[in-house]
Structures are given as structure tokens and as C-alpha cells.
Chains A and B, each alone.
Chain A
Amino acid sequence: MIVRLEPRGAVAGWVSAAMTMAALIVAFVIGGLVLAFVGGDPVRVYLHIVNAAFGNIGVISDTLVKATPLILTGLACALAFRMRLWNIGAEGQFLLGAWGASAVVLAPVLPEGTPAIVVIPVMMLAGALAGAAWGLIPGLLRARLGVNEIITTLMLNYIALAWLQFWVFGPWSEGGFQQSVTFPRTAWLPRLTDFAGSVPALGGLTTHLGLVFALVATAIMWVVVSRTRFGYEMRLIGDNPTAARYAGVDIARYVIVVFAVSGALAGLAGMSEVSGVVHRLQDRISPGYGFTAIIIAYLARLGPWRVVLASILFGALILAGREIQPSGVPAMIQGIILFCLIGSDVLVRYRVRVARRGAVGAT
């Protein structure tokens, strides 16, 4: 018996969607087996995860808080991946975005007492610009000199972290601790709980305005990739750069623009995190959002709205996972999901055929 992979012709949209769902289910089954193997009860663990992430309005709000930076960094990765630009540097761009936004308060760029209506937009702009600048470095190197962006984006992550640490250990340190002072309230993104005065039901809900940024960014990206000439040219470059050049597309320009926008999205995620959740700059503001974003973009098959769904799933895993075990279980499930996705990708592109060998005997 031999097993052969035959390439499929046209693949219907529902096939790849079904494969993704199947990959998720298989991942959770394998995860369950691992849990059972170490003596846990997988059903109870999964029920606990569901309950801890979606059990009541409070935890749903917390899940969305976790999902917010994932959506923005996930979009950053999905946008670049559509052009087959492997931006592995969303983490670094996120950190730079956080730094840029913090600089507005800590440098300070704006004088003390500036109203929130001015501070917040300036912080958004600073965060996005800092992230874009960090994305432009690999973008320019790739477009002008053909430098492999996987290496540069990956390495720049470490430089970004070192940069951030320099500022929180040194100039912006609060009394020698590796964090800055807490931002004034004018630099905080509004949260649902801030409106508890008029709507008591919102009390304690920490979902902040960053979620709205994320959803608006999703909508804009959806329109751009599916309805505009820019999105069409990205598709063309992503599928066949030679044909894109043949169609008169200036590829270098697109590489630079897409890297800058990708960096800006990740930078905005960093801004939303310092301004909406942490309210100060510290070196451990990201538990690896920029890396998880890679898996999210992949799981979403680069679709903007699917990035939102995948981010909520991963947000839930991060939130609930911590309640079960500080790091092991969520990281394990994330890893298994990635493996199953890569496996299912083969099944989307190829059909498995089992042929019986030796059916025709020699005479």
C-alpha cells in the first residue's frame, strides 16, 4: 500500500475553512490526550477554560482585553504575510509603539495638564509612527538591498526590547524600579468601568477603547484588501511578483509601504496596551503578543475578520490558561494548534490517495 499526495485543483473556500476547523478540533483532542496522560481530566480542564474565559460578563471583558493587542498585531502579521513578507517582528514593533506612546507622557512631549482629547490622539500617532519606523528598517533593507526580512525582523525584536529596557531602567525609571511612573489619567484610554457612574452594570469591566481601534483597523483592512486597487496589487505581488512587475506594479514601493503599515498596526497595539491596561511603561508589557500574532494570522488564513475570532480564542487561552497553570497548558495548546494548522495546510493543497500496490501482477 502506498500513500500518495496529489495536488488539488481549485479549492473551494469552504474546504479550507473546514480544514481550519478540523485542525482546531484535532489540536484540542491532542491537547486533551496530553492532559489525560499527565493525569488531568481533559473535559474538566476545557470546561474550566471556557468558564474562565466566557463564564460571565466580567471574564468576557477580560478576554477582550487580552484579545485587543492580539487583533492589532495579528492584523500587522496578516497584512505583511499577504505579500509573503515574513514580518516576524511584530513584537519589536509593539514594544516600540509602547515606547513612542509613553514618550508623549514621559519625555514629556506635551506639557502637563493637556486634556485627554489631545493627549490620546498624540499618543496614538506617536505609537503608530514609532512602530512604523521600526517596520521601515527591514522594509527598506528588503526593498532596496534584498536583505532577508525574516532575519532582520527577528533580530530587531531583541534590539527593541533592549531599547525599552534602557529607558525603563534609566531615564524613565521610577525610583530605580524597572518601570516608569504611572501615567496621569489624561493619558488613559477610557474603559467601560469609567462609565459605571451613569451605567452601574459597567462597573469593573476593563475593556478599553483599544478594542474599538482594533475593530476599526479590522474593518479598514478588510476594505483595503478586498475592495481596493492597493489590495489587488498586494494579491498580485503575493501570488507572483514577476507577474506583478509585468503588470506594471512597483514592488519595492509596496514592500516599504506594507512594512510601514504593518509596523504602525503593531505600534498601535503597543500604545493601546500601555495606555489602556498597564498605564505605565515597563519592560514586561508583552507576554509575546507579537509572536502569538503569527499563529493568529496563520489560523485566520490572513482574513481580517477571522483575525478577530482567532484573537478572541487565543485571548481566552491566555486568560484561562493562567488560572489552570501559569504557563504550561496555554503554550502547549498554542503549539499544538500551530502544528495542526501547518498539517491541515498540506491537506488543503493536496489530496491524500491510498493506492494498493501490486494490484497488477506480473505474468
Chain B
Amino acid sequence: MPLAIEARGIVKSFPGVLANDQVDFDLRVGEVHALLGENGAGKSTLMNVLAGLYQPEAGELLVDGTAVRFRSPRDAIAAGIGMVHQHFTLVPSQTVTENVLLGLPLPRFRLDLRRAEASVAEMAAGVGMRVDPRARVWQLSVGEQQRVEILKMLYRGARILIMDEPTAVLAPQEAEELFATLRTMTGTGRSVVFISHKLGEVLAVADRITVMRAGRVTAAAISPVGSTPADLARLMVGRPVLETLERADAAPGRVVLSAADVHASNDRGIESLRGVSLQVRAGEIVGIAAVAGNGQSELAEALTGLRRCTGRIVVDGVDIGGRASGAALRAGVGHVPEDRARVGSAPNLSIVDNLVMKRFRRPPLARGPFLDDGAARALATDLKARYSISAPSIDSPVRILSGGNLQRLILAREIEAAPAVLIAVQPTRGLDVGAIEVVHRLLLELRAKGTAILLISEELDELRTLADRLLVVFEGRISAEMPAGGADLQEIGMHMTGGAGVEALAGMAAAVASAPGAPPP
């Protein structure tokens, strides 16, 4: 079989980091080749070299057997290589077609939108994507926006598509749709490089898998047949990863968090919580499963006092429903927020300042109106060591921390504040295998200490591993409750979509498209 891309001995360094060290990589025509590795393994660097964003210091690159040197992404596109980045670059107020045409040299003057719309629609249909070429981008769900990004590349004649962590922002069903699209594309002679650090989906979608660690290839082009997640995890992390977590049986105690008939609106003023009632007991993890935009983010914000709501929210006998975040905090509600950088931390402040955020009002940190700097620094030094937060010093601003390290910091702060109840939202999103393991272990330890935990996640596997009970939320209401152990994926999926049986997937797509909470990028 001819090779679409062949890269040999690619070397690329950044100040202080050898991001790619003599990396070889090849892509066959008509295959999905997964590139697997932890954050910082050099996957994105390698792909940015292939897409013309970076110029390598050494090594050669062949496209369809011809040696090339790209000086810009334009050169790469001309050679048929298009990259879809993690962060979309779309104009929200413009239509799908307008976004596809944006930046193209043609048409030069007269824009025949009708014809362009027809050809965009035809192109989408050709790879089995459902996209309305006249829809405005702000109206689209994240999954649909990603399709627009793919269309942009296809419209520019890309035969080789590089997808940088495409599923990081997608709900499980949206990911399934993407995989179907990718398979259709490879069926028509296109080739796909698929960057990911999620083992399950790599095994599901890839024809071949290349694993990278610390700038080097640790397994070149292996077959998914016969590979297990444990094998891949070991290749990624460089040590065996504990697959099964030590998990004691649940011994739920008294009811710590009790919510009754909670209503709240989302940022656009549309009611997205429509009477949610739930209880979480001490020493119990209750999982919330929902497709993005069904009100679970609003639920977390309502419970932590960050969003106005009506209804009763009682924590250890104190009603905090509808009161400000300070009341929730005093009542003992800990919160691992969905958006770590924008909600959970103050990026330019130091690690010390970020670690004391929830407990600076109480002794020993507080001394009357004063803040005991020595005590704060001692606390930070201790937590930095115990939670392995890797940073130059406790005075470093937290914006330089990696995603996994920032999450460790937030967990350290929330857990050590000894909350009565912890609301954890997507605690492992965007983290690599090693970091996910740490987060899971910390949550289970907290459960063992008798904390009530509400875990909101879009990773069904995570929910089934950690939770004792599952609540499925659909369109702002709890649509089902079931024990997590042995819960059937099909059944959960059905309740998540509010539909039943075979209509589940169609209903799901509609739910995603009309989801009131899906924010514009």
C-alpha cells in the first residue's frame, strides 16, 4: 500500500525541551492512524510539523512519496494535509458556508452563496455528515462546529486530515458520530491521523496505533487487534498503571446534601433546571450522567451558590438554596469546577494564594483581619509535596501549571478543606492516564473518609468505576436512577437521550442540537 505521509527522524526542540527526538511516523492511504500519548509527549508537536506550523530542525518529510518542506500551513494544505485543532477558529455570527469560504482566494469578487452552499452540502453528504450550510455557527453544538472545521479542510482539498484530540470536547454520542464520519472518509481514499489520550476510543477507531512518550516513539504502528488498554497505558506512562482501583463497599451514612425541586436558568435565560431533587449521603459517590447542555453544569453551580436558583438545598441541616457562594462554602460545600482555569483558579496569583482560597477566613490562616503569611506558605509547601504539584516554587503563578497539575492543586485545596460534600464536575477532563488515576484515587479516599460526593461527568466509564449510584439527567430533570455497579450502557444512553430503543441516537442528536446550554465558542 502506498504511504500518504512518511516522516523520518523528525527533531524539534523548544527552549529547554526536546519535543520530538528522532521521530518516525507513517500514514497509509485510507487508514485511521491513532497517535497516543500523555500531555506533553510530543504528539501535537509532531502533527504541527506535518501541518506546516513548525519547521523541524532535522528529519525529512515525504507526502505521496515526494520530499517536501513546508514553510507554512498554506504549503501543507497545498500538499493536501489539513489539521483540525482542539480550539476552533470559526466566526460565530457567520453561516457554515461563509466560514468554509473564509480566507480562500476564490471567489475573488462576487460571492455566489447559493452555489457555495450547494457544494458544501454535497461535500458534507459525501462523508455522511449532517450539517445545515445556512446555519449560523453560534447556533451549532460543539460537535457540529467540529464538522464545520472538518468541512473547511475538505473544501480546501485536504486528503489527509489531522485531528488534534477531537473527542476532548464531545459527548459520547457525538464522538460516535465523528468516528462514523472518519470511517466514511477513509472509505473514500482519505487518510486520518487521530491524536488522543483516551485508550478506549483509540482501540475502537484506529487501524494502527503509534504511542509516544517524552518526545520519542515507544510503539510504532501497532495493531489494535490484540492490544489491551493496559498495554497501551503502560506504553504511554512508562510503568504499569493500576487498572482496578481499591474500592471498599459503600457504607452510606446520614444524608448530607439534600436538594428539593431546584429550578435555575442558564446564561441565556432559558430554564435549564426544571425541578431537580436529589440526596447524597456521607461516604457515598452519586454520579450524574448527562449529555452536555442538559442542565448538569447549572446544577453544580446552583448547589455551590454560583447560580441563582429556587428550591431547597440543605447541607447538614442548613438551607443554602438561593443564597450566595459564601453560604455554600460555610455550610461545607467543596467544589471542583468544570472550568479549572476560569473558575477554579486565579491564574496570575501564586500557588500559595490559590491554595488558601477556601480557608483564608478561618484560623490558623486568619488572625483577626490579618492573613498569616507564614502559615499560608507552610500549608502550600505541605500540599505541594503531598499532592505532587509540580512547579518551580510555591510562588509561581498557577497559569504556568499543566492541566494535570492545576487539577491536583484544585483537588488538594478542596479535599484538604475537609468538605461535608464535594461537587466534582468533569474532574478528569483533558487529563492523561496517570493524572486520571491520581484523581480517581483521591476521590475514593475522600469517600472512605465519609465525605458525600456528587460526581458530574460525561465519561460513562468513569461514572461506573467511581459512583455508587447513578442519576441520569435529561433536559433539566432526573430521568432515571440506578445503582452504578452493573448499570447497562445502552440503558444509561437511552435515559440520557430521553428517547427509547432505536430512536435513541436520533433523539440524542436533536437534543444536542437544541441543547440550551451549549455555549458558543
Partner of A236, one of B67, B343, B346: B346
Q: Find out whether the CB atom of A243 lies under 8 angstroms from the CB atom of B346.
A: yes
Q: Which of B349, B358, B371, B396 contacts A248 (CB 8 A)?
A: B358
Q: Which B-chain residue is minimally distant from A224 (CB atoms)?
A: B369
B interface footprint on A241-254 (CB within 8 Å = 1, 0 otherwise): 01111111110000
- CB within 8 Å for A250 and B342 given contacts A9-B400, A227-B373: no
Contact of A247 among B69, B357, B396, B397 (CB under 8 A): B357
Q: How far is the CA of A328 from the CA of B68 in the complex (A)?
A: 61
Q: How far is the CA of A363 from the CA of B79 in the complex (A)?
A: 14
- Supposing A246-B335, A250-B324 touch, asked if A236 and B349 sit within 8 A by C-beta, the answer is yes
Question: Is A229 part of the contact surface with B, judged by Cβ < 8 Å?
Answer: yes
CA distance A235 to B348 in the complex (A): 10
Question: B329 in the interface, Cβ–Cβ < 8 Å?
Answer: yes
Query: Does residue B94 face the partner (Cβ distance < 8 Å to A)?
Result: no
- Out of A232, A246, A359, which one reaches B325, CB within 8 Å? A246
> Within the assembled complex, what's the spacing in Å between the Cα atoms of A201 and B483?
89
Is the Cβ of A227 less than 8 Å from the Cβ of B325? no
- Asked whether B74 is an interface residue with its Cβ less than 8 Å from the other chain, the reply is no
Minimum CB distance partner of B354 in chain A: A243
- The distance in angstroms between the C-alpha atoms of A361 and B55, with both chains bound, is 10
Known contacts A227-B373, A229-B371, A232-B360; A248/B329 CB under 8 A: yes
Write the B301-331 contact mask toward A (1 if CB under 8 angstroms, else 0).
0001110000000000000000011101110
**Chain B residues with Cβ under 8 A from A10's Cβ?**
392, 396-397, 400
User: Which of A235, A242, A249, A250 makes the CB contact (< 8 A) with B349?
Assistant: A235
- Minimum CB distance partner of B397 in chain A: A10
Task: Please give the distance in Å from B79's CB to the nearest CB on chain A.
Answer: 11
B370 touches which of A227, A242, A363 (Cβ 8 Å) = A227
* Contact residues in A for B349 (Cβ distance below 8 Å): 235-236, 239
Interface size on A, residues (CB 8 A): 27
Q: Are B55 and A248 in contact (CB under 8 A)?
A: no
B361 close to A (CB within 8 Å) = yes
Residues of B within 8 A of A236 (CB): 346, 349, 353, 357
Interface of B is mostly: loop
Q: Say yes or no for B275: interface residue by CB 8 A criterion.
A: no
Whether a CB of chain B sits under 8 angstroms from the CB of A358 is: yes
Q: Given the complex of chains A and B, what is the CA–CA distance between A239 and B356 in angstroms?
A: 15
CA distance A351 to B396 in the complex (A): 18
Question: B344 near A: Cβ within 8 Å?
Answer: yes
Contact mask for chain A residues 218-244; partner B; CB cutoff 8 A; 1 contact, 0 none = 000000000111111001100110111
Instruction: Flag A1-29 by CB within 8 Å of B: 1 or 0 each.
Output: 00000000110000000000000000000
| Proximity bits, B456-467, A CB within 8 Å = 1, else 0 | 000000000000
B71: interface (CB < 8 Å) = yes
Nearest A residue (CB) for B335: A246
- B451 close to chain A: CB less than 8 A: no
The verdict on A362 contacting chain B, using a C-beta distance below 8 Å, is yes
Q: Indicate if A360 sits at the interface (CB-CB under 8 A).
A: yes
Instruction: Give A236 to B346 CA distance when docked, in angstroms.
Output: 7
Q: How far is the CB of A227 from chain B (nearest CB, A)?
A: 6
What 1/0 flags go to B366-407 for Cβ under 8 Å of A?
A: 100111010000000000000000001000110010000000
Q: Complex Cα distance A47/B440, Å?
A: 68
CB within 8 Å for A243 and B371 given contacts A232-B353, A232-B360: no
Among A242, A248, A362, point to the contact of B69 (Cβ < 8 A): A362
B337 close to A (CB within 8 Å): yes
A239 touches B346 (CB 8 A): yes
Instruction: Specify which chain A residues have a CB less than 8 angstroms from the CB of B67 in the assembled complex.
Output: 363
* B345 part of interface (Cβ distance < 8 Å): yes
CB pair B347 A246 closer than 8 Å: no
Within the complex, what minimum Cβ distance (angstroms) separates A318 from chain B? 34
Q: How far is the CB of A8 from chain B (nearest CB, A)?
A: 10
B193 to nearest A CB, angstroms? 22
Contacts of B396 in A (CB 8 A): 10
Q: A227-B373, A248-B326 are contacts. A239–B347 as well, Cβ < 8 Å?
A: yes
Question: Which of A227, A239, A360 sits near B371, CB closer than 8 Å?
Answer: A227
What chain B residues lie within 8 Å of A358 (beta carbons)? 71
**Which residues on the A side are within 8 Å of B392 (C-beta)?**
10
CB of A333, distance to nearest CB on chain B (Å)? 31
- The minimal Cβ–Cβ distance linking B57 to chain A, given in whole angstroms, is 9
Q: How far, in angstroms, from A358 to B328 measured CA to CA in the complex?
A: 58
Structural contact, A229 and B353, CB atoms closer than 8 A: no
Measured in the bound complex, the distance between the Cα atoms of B346 and A246 in whole Å is: 10
Of A229, A246, A359, which one neighbours B337 at CB under 8 angstroms? A246
Knowing A9-B400, A239-B349, A360-B69, say if A229 contacts B55 (CB, 8 Å): no
Complex alpha-carbon distance, A231 and B371, angstroms? 9
Q: Which of A232, A242, A245, A246 gathers the greatest number of chain B CB atoms within 10 Å?
A: A246
Q: Which A residues touch B337, using CB under 8 A?
A: 246
Closest to A226 in B: B373
Chain A residues with CB below 8 A from B356, complex form: 232
Chain A residues with CB under 8 Å of B366's CB are: 229
Q: A230-B369, A232-B371 are in contact. Are A240 and B347 (CB under 8 A)?
A: yes
Residues in chain B near residue A227, CB distance under 8 A: 370-371, 373
Q: Across the interface, do A229 and B369 meet the contact criterion of CB distance under 8 Å?
A: yes
Q: Which A residues are CB-close (under 8 A) to B55? A: 359-360
On whether the beta carbons of B345 and A240 are closer than 8 Å, the reply is: yes
Interchain CB contact under 8 A, B370 and A245 = no
In the assembled complex, the Cα of A165 lies from the Cα of B337 at a distance in Å of 54
B369 touches A245 (CB 8 A): no
Q: How far is the CB of B348 from chain A (nearest CB, A)?
A: 5
Cα distance A363–B75 when bound, in Å?
12
**Cα distance A247–B361 when bound, in Å?**
10
A10-B400, A229-B371, A250-B326 are known; give 14 further A-B pairs, CB within 8 A.
A229-B361, A231-B371, A232-B356, A236-B346, A236-B353, A239-B346, A239-B347, A239-B348, A240-B342, A240-B347, A246-B344, A249-B326, A360-B71, A362-B69
What are 23 A-B residue pairs whose CB atoms fall within 8 Å in the complex?
A227-B370, A227-B371, A227-B373, A229-B366, A230-B369, A231-B371, A232-B371, A235-B349, A236-B353, A239-B346, A239-B349, A240-B342, A240-B346, A243-B357, A245-B306, A246-B337, A246-B344, A247-B358, A248-B325, A248-B326, A248-B330, A358-B71, A360-B69
Q: 3 closest A-B pairs (Cβ-Cβ)?
A: A248-B326, A248-B329, A239-B346
Binding site for A on B (CB under 8 A): 55, 67-69, 71, 75, 304-306, 324-326, 328-330, 335, 337, 342-349, 353, 356-358, 360-361, 366, 369-371, 373, 392, 396-397, 400
